[in-house]
C-alpha cells in the first residue's frame, strides 16, 4: 500500500465516522428537538384558542364558533384539519362528516394534537387538530443539509490539503530517495537528491547524501585495493615463475662466494706459510752463508783442502736437505684432505704448532704444548690442523698487538666425555665484549690487514665437517678458544 493510500485511509475513515455521527445522531436529534419546539408552540396556540372557545360553547354560539375556527384554519395553513367534538364525542365542528384524519405513520411530519376544553373542571369538548410540521421543519432540514455539506466539503478539502502537503513534503522526497537508493545499489552515484530542508526529511536527505559519499569513497578505495592486490598477485606470479631461476642463481653466487672464501683463506694460509718458511729457513740460511764464507776464507788463506771442502759441502747439503724437508712438511700440512680418516688429534696439533713455531720464537712468544698422544678422532686431519693453526696465528697477532714482551700461548689437549677438547689460551689482551657475538662471522675483522675468515673457516671445519663445537671466552689477560671434536668410538 502506498504512503498516499496509507494517509488517505485513516482520513477517509474519520470522515465516514463524522458523517455517520451527523446522520445517525446529530441530525435526528436536532430535528426531533425542532419538532418538539414546534409542537409546544402549537400546543400554546391551542390553549389560547381553547380559552376563546369556552364562552362560545357555553353560549352555544356555534355559528360564531364555526366562523372563528374557519378563520383559524385559514390563518394556519399548516393545520391540515380542525375538529371539535363535545364530551359525548359528537362532532361540533365541522358538522359534516369529519374528513378522515391522515395516517400519522405514513406522513411522519403530520401530528394530531388534542386539546380538552374545560370550564370550572367540566369538560366542554375536545379540540383536535391535525398539524403538518413539514413546512416548519423544512428550513431546519435545509440548514442542516447546508451545514452538513459545508462540513463534508471542509473535511474533504482538509483531507486533500493534508494529503497534498504530505505528498509534497514527504511522499515525493521519499520516492526520490528510494529511486536514488535503487540506482545507488547499481553503483550509480550521480542520481539527484531532493533539496535538504531543516525538517526530519532534510536530515534523512543529509544522512543519505553523506552515506552516498562514504559509499563512493569506500568503493573507490576498494577498487584501488583490488587493483593493488592484482598488481601484487601479478608480481607474485612473476616472482614465482622466476623464483626457481633466482634460487639457482643465488646458489651459484653462494658457491662462487664459498669458492672465493676458500681461495682467500688459502692465500692467507700461504702468506702465513711463506712467512713461516722464511723463519724456518733463516737459521739454515745463516749456516749456509757461514759455510760459504768459510770456504771462501779457506781459499783466500790457502787452507782449502779437499777434506775441508768435502766437510763444508756435506754440511751445506745437510742444511739444504733440512730446508727441503721443511718445504715438504709445509706442503703436506696444506695439502687438502681427500677423504675422512682416523687421525691422532695430538699429531695434527703438533703439525700446526710446527708451522708457526719459528715465527713465535723469532717474536719471543713462548708456547707451551700439552697434547698427549692417543686421542683418535675421525675426520679431516689437515683441516683440523688448519683450524688450530688459525687460532695460533690469531693468538700470536693479539700478543704482538697488545704487548712488547712476555707473550705466552698455552695449548692443552684433554679428553672429556668422549670428546677431544683443545684449549688455546693467550695473554694478548682478550676479545672486546661487544664483538664476541660477531667473532665467527665471515669477513669480520678488527685488523687493518685482516681478512676476517680465519675463525669462520675454523668454525665451518669444526662444526660442519667434524660435528664438533668451537667457542671463545676471555680469561684473565687474554682469550681462550676451545675446540671440541668427538673422539672415534672404539669397538
Pair 20, 28: CB distance under 8 Å = no
360, 365, 466, 479: which one binds ligand ADP (CB under 6 A): 479
Residue 395 as a binder of ligand ADP (CB under 6 A): the answer is yes
Pair 488, 379: CB distance under 8 Å = no
Number of residues that bind ligand ADP (CB under 6 A): 20
Pair 461, 337: CB distance under 8 Å = no
Distance CA 391, CA 355 (A): 13
Residue 456 as a binder of ligand ADP (CB under 6 A): the answer is yes
Residue 249 as a binder of ligand ADP (CB under 6 A): the answer is no
Q: Which residue has the cell 384558542?
A: 49
Pairing of β 376-379 and β 341-344: antiparallel
Q: Which residues pair with 471 in a beta bridge?
A: 482
Nearer to ligand ADP, 56 or 411 (CB): 411
Percentage helix, strand, coil for the chain under 3-state DSSP, each rounded to 5: 65, 15, 20
Buried b (16+ CB within 10 A) or exposed e, 443-462: ebeeeeeebbbbbbbbbbbb
Nearer to ligand ADP, 294 or 390 (CB): 390
398, 413, 422, 460: which one binds ligand ADP (CB under 6 A): 398
Output the CA–CA distances (angstroms, integers) from residue 45 to 42, 67, 93, in the order listed. Answer: 5, 17, 18
Closest CB 404 distance from ligand ADP, rounded Å: 17
First-to-last alpha carbon distance for the chain, in angstroms, is 101
Q: How many H-runs (helices) and E-runs (strands) does the chain carry?
A: 10, 11
Residue 454 as a binder of ligand ADP (CB under 6 A): the answer is yes
Nearer to ligand ADP, 205 or 393 (CB): 393
Residue 474 as a binder of ligand ADP (CB under 6 A): the answer is no
Nearer to ligand ADP, 50 or 392 (CB): 392
Instruction: State the greatest distance between any 2 C-alpha atoms of the chain, in Å, as a whole number.
Output: 226
DSSP state for residue 488 in the 8-state scheme: P
Nearer to ligand ADP, 32 or 435 (CB): 435
Residue 468 as a binder of ligand ADP (CB under 6 A): the answer is no
H helix or E strand, kind and range, residue 481? strand 478-486
Residue 482 as a binder of ligand ADP (CB under 6 A): the answer is no
Closest CB 262 distance from ligand ADP, rounded Å: 14
Which residue blocks in 303-380 are alpha helix, DSSP H?
306-334, 345-362
Residue 461 as a binder of ligand ADP (CB under 6 A): the answer is no
Nearer to ligand ADP, 233 or 401 (CB): 401
Residue 407 as a binder of ligand ADP (CB under 6 A): the answer is no
Closest CB 458 distance from ligand ADP, rounded Å: 8
163, 452, 465, 488: which one binds ligand ADP (CB under 6 A): 452
Nearest residue to ligand ADP, by Cβ distance, number only: 454
Residue 161 as a binder of ligand ADP (CB under 6 A): the answer is no
Nearer to ligand ADP, 116 or 271 (CB): 271
Q: How many residues does the chain have?
A: 491
Write the binding mask 412 to 451 for ligand ADP: x where contact by CB under 6 A, - elsewhere: --------------x-x--x-------x----xxxx--xx
Closest CB 397 distance from ligand ADP, rounded Å: 6
Binding site for ligand ADP (CB under 6 A): 390, 394-395, 398, 426, 428, 431, 439, 444-447, 450-456, 479
Amino acid at each position: 500500500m502506498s504512503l498516499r493510500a496509507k494517509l488517505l485511509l485513516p482520513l477517509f475513515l474519520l470522515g465516514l465516522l463524522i458523517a455517520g455521527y451527523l446522520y445517525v445522531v446529530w441530525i435526528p436529534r436536532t430535528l426531533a428537538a425542532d419538532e418538539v419546539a414546534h409542537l409546544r408552540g402549537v400546543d400554546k396556540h391551542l390553549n389560547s384558542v381553547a380559552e376563546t372557545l369556552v364562552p362560545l360553547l357555553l353560549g352555544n354560539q356555534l355559528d360564531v364558533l364555526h366562523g372563528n375556527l374557519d378563520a383559524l384554519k385559514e390563518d394556519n395553513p399548516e393545520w391540515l384539519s380542525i375538529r371539535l367534538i363535545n364530551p359525548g364525542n359528537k362532532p361540533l365542528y365541522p358538522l359534516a362528516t369529519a374528513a378522515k384524519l391522515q395516517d400519522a405513520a405514513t406522513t411522519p411530519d403530520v401530528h394530531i394534537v388534542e386539546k380538552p376544553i374545560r370550564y370550572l373542571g367540566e369538560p366542554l369538548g375536545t379540540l383536535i387538530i391535525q398539524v403538518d410540521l413539514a413546512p416548519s421543519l423544512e428550513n431546519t432540514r435545509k440548514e442542516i443539509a447546508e451545514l452538513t455539506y459545508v462540513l463534508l466539503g471542509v473535511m474533504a478539502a482538509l483531507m486533500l490539503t493534508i494529503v497534498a502537503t504530505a505528498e509534497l513534503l514527504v511522499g515525493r522526497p521519499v520516492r526520490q530517495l528510494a529511486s536514488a537508493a535503487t540506482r545507488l545499489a547499481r553503483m550509480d552515484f550521480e542520481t539527484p537528491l531532493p533539496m535538504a530542508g531543516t525538517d526530519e526529511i532534510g536530515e534523512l536527505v543529509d544522512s543519505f547524501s553523506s552515506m552516498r559519499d562514504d559509499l563512493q569513497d569506500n568503493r573507490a578505495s576498494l577498487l584501488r585495493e583490488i587493483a593493488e592486490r592484482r598488481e601484487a598477485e601479478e608480481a607474485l606470479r612473476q616472482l614465482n615463475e622466476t623464483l626457481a631461476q633466482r634460487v639457482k642463481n643465488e646458489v651459484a653466487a653462494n658457491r662462487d662466494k664459498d669458492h672465493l672464501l676458500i681461495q682467500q683463506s688459502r692465500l692467507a694460509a700461504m702468506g702465513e706459510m711463506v712467512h713461516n718458511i722464511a723463519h724456518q729457513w733463516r737459521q739454515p740460511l745463516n749456516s749456509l752463508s757461514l759455510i760459504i764464507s768459510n770456504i771462501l776464507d779457506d781459499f783466500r788463506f790457502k787452507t782449502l783442502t779437499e777434506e775441508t771442502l768435502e766437510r763444508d759441502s756435506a754440511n751445506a747439503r745437510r742444511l739444504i736437505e733440512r730446508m727441503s724437508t721443511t718445504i715438504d712438511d709445509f706442503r703436506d700440512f696444506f695439502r687438502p684432505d681427500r677423504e675422512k680418516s682416523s687421525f691422532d688429534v695430538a699429531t695434527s696439533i703438533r703439525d700446526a704448532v710446527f708451522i708457526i713455531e719459528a715465527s713465535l720464537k723469532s717474536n719471543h712468544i713462548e708456547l707451551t704444548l700439552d697434547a698427549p698422544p692417543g686421542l683418535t678422532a675421525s675426520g679431516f686431519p689437515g683441516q683440523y690442523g688448519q683450524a688450530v693453526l688459525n687460532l695460533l696465528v690469531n693468538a700470536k697477532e693479539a700478543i704482538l698487538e697488545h704487548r712488547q714482551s712476555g707473550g705466552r700461548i698455552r695449548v692443552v689437549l684433554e679428553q672429556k666425555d668422549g670428546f677431544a677438547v683443545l684449549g688455546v689460551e693467550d695473554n694478548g689482551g682478550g676479545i672486546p665484549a661487544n664483538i664476541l657475538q660477531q667473532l665467527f662471522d665471515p669477513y669480520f675483522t678488527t685488523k687493518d690487514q685482516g681478512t676476517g675468515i680465519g675463525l669462520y673457516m675454523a668454525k665451518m671445519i669444526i662444526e660442519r665437517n667434524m660435528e664438533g663445537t668451537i667457542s671463545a671466552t676471555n680469561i684473565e689477560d687474554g682469550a681462550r678458544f676451545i675446540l671440541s671434536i668427538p673422539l672415534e668410538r672404539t669397538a
